[in-house]
Amino acid sequence: MSKVTPLDPDARQKAKDQIKAQVAGQVQAEQEDIMPGRVVTSATALMARTFVDRPIVGGLLDERESLVIVGQTNLGKSLLALMVALWLASPIRPLWGKFNALKPIKTLFVQSENSAKGTQKRLRLMLEANPALRASLDSIFFAGAECRITGSFLDPEFLANIEAMISETEAELLVIDPLISFHGAADENDNSAIRRSLDQLTALQDRTNTASVLVHNSGKSQHDDPIFAGRGATAIPDWADNILVLSRDKKQKSGEGSAIIEVVHPKSRNFAKSDPWWLERTSNLDFLRIDRPGETKELDHAQAVVKALQGLGGRANKQKDLEAAVQVALNCQNTEARRAIRAAQERLLIVATPSETDGRVVGFTLPGWEGAKKRHAAK
C-alpha cells in the first residue's frame, strides 16, 4: 500500500480548531456563490447554481450521500463493504451487473472490530479470488495503526482526526463499521441523540466532499419494518439517503463458509430503487450475483407447460387437461403441475381462457392462438 504524506502539525491543528468551532456553532459554512454571513438561500439563487452529477456508485450512492447496510450478525456486511471498496478502486466492470462507477474511488475505513491481522487475512482471500483487484490496495486506507479505532461523532477532536485522514488519503468514500461504535449516544434508541450524531457526520461529509457507507446490525424483528430492519432509533433510516437490507436465505443450501444472501433496496433518495437481487458469499469471500433461488427450476417448469400445451394443439379447453399433460411431462403430482402452470402464467407464456358465464378460468391457450386460428381459417 502506498505511503501517504501526513499533514504538518500546524495544518492538522488548524483543521481540528475549525471543526471544534463548527461543532460549537461558532462558524457558518460559506460557499462561493452565497454572500459571506448569509444564513439563507433564496430559491432563485439555488436555481442559478450548477450541479454536476458525480455519483460514487451510479444508481446506489451519490456524492455526499449515505448508504446504510443492514444485516444479521456474521452475514458478511463488513466483508461486503470491503469488497465494494476494492471494486470502486478498479471499477472495470459493473458491480453485480447492476451498478457503475464513473472513476476509481479511494476509501477510508473507520472500523472498531476488525484487527490488522484479520483485515489482512480477508484481503488475501479476496485477492486470491480476484487477482486483478490487487492494484486496488493503493486506494484503500484504514484509520489507526492496527486498522481500528474508537471515537464519537459528537467529539470534535475525533471528527478533526477523521477529517485530517480524509485530507491525507484523498478519500472520497468513508466506511463506518459498525455505526454503534461511533454514534456516541448513551442510548441507541434515543432519536434526538442519534440524529445529532449523524448530522455531525453529514457536516463532515459536506466539508470533505465525501460519501459514507455505514454498517449496521439488524434488529430482532428484522422484517417488521418495510423500510428499515436495523436496530436502534428510527432517526437512522430517516437520516439515511440509501438503505440496503441483507438477509440470509435459510432455505437454500450453501457450501462451507458460504451463504446465499437476499439484498433488498428499500430506500433510495435520489435514484430509482432496485428490485431485490441475490448474492452468494463464497468461501473465499467473494460476493457473486446469482439468479433468484428456485428461479431456474421455475423457468424450466414453465417451459415444460408451454411444450405440454403445444402438444395439445395450442389450446386446452379444460384446466384439468393441461394439468394432466404437465404431470406427464414433469412426472409430478397435480400440486406441482398447478404450480408450474401458475409460473407459466406469471411469465405470460400461456393465456387463461375465462368462462363465458362467470369469468372463471376454464382453460389455457398459447399467446396469439386465437389470432393464428382465425388467420388459418381465412386461408
211 inside domain: yes
41 inside domain: no
* C-alpha span between 125 and 94 (Å, rounded): 21
Cell of 260: 446465499
Positions in the chain whose pLDDT score sits under 50: 1-4, 26-36, 222-223, 371-379
Res 16: pLDDT: 65
State whether 309 and 279 are in the same domain. no
Task: Give yes or no for a contact between 332 and 297, defined as CB atoms under 8 angstroms apart.
Answer: no
* C-alpha span between 148 and 79 (Å, rounded): 15
State whether 127 and 180 are in the same domain. yes
State whether 286 and 346 are in the same domain. no
Res 130: pLDDT: 86
State whether 332 and 216 are in the same domain. no
321 inside domain: yes
Rounded to 10 degrees, the C-alpha dihedral 243/123/75/204 comes to -30
CATH number at residue 199: 3.40.50.300
Res 182: pLDDT: 97
The residue among 225, 258, 290 that closes a domain is 290
- Residue identified by cell 459498525 is 178
Res 253: pLDDT: 57
For residue 26, the Cα-to-chain-centroid distance in whole angstroms is 37
374 inside domain: no
4 inside domain: no
Res 146: pLDDT: 96
86 inside domain: yes
State whether 284 and 300 are in the same domain. no
The residue among 290, 317, 352 that closes a domain is 290
Taking the alpha carbons at both ends of the chain, their separation in whole angstroms is 75
CATH number at residue 350: 1.10.10.10
State whether 274 and 352 are in the same domain. no
The residue among 241, 268, 290 that closes a domain is 290
* C-alpha span between 52 and 50 (Å, rounded): 7
- Give the count of beta carbons closer than 10 Å to the beta carbon of residue 72: 16
218 inside domain: yes
State whether 70 and 18 are in the same domain. yes
- Give the count of beta carbons closer than 10 Å to the beta carbon of residue 111: 24
Query: What's the total number of domains in the chain?
Result: 2
Res 357: pLDDT: 74
Cite the DSSP H helix spans in 146-254: 156-169, 191-208, 235-239
State whether 232 and 344 are in the same domain. no
State whether 263 and 190 are in the same domain. yes
State whether 362 and 242 are in the same domain. no
Res 343: pLDDT: 85
pTM over 0.75, yes/no? no
40 inside domain: no
Range of the domain at 264: 9-35+48-290
Q: List the one residue out of 212, 213, 223 whose CA is nearest residue 264.
A: 223
State whether 213 and 314 are in the same domain. no
- Give the count of beta carbons closer than 10 Å to the beta carbon of residue 58: 18
State whether 238 and 255 are in the same domain. yes
Helices 191-208 and 9-23 sit at what angle, rounded to 10 degrees?
140
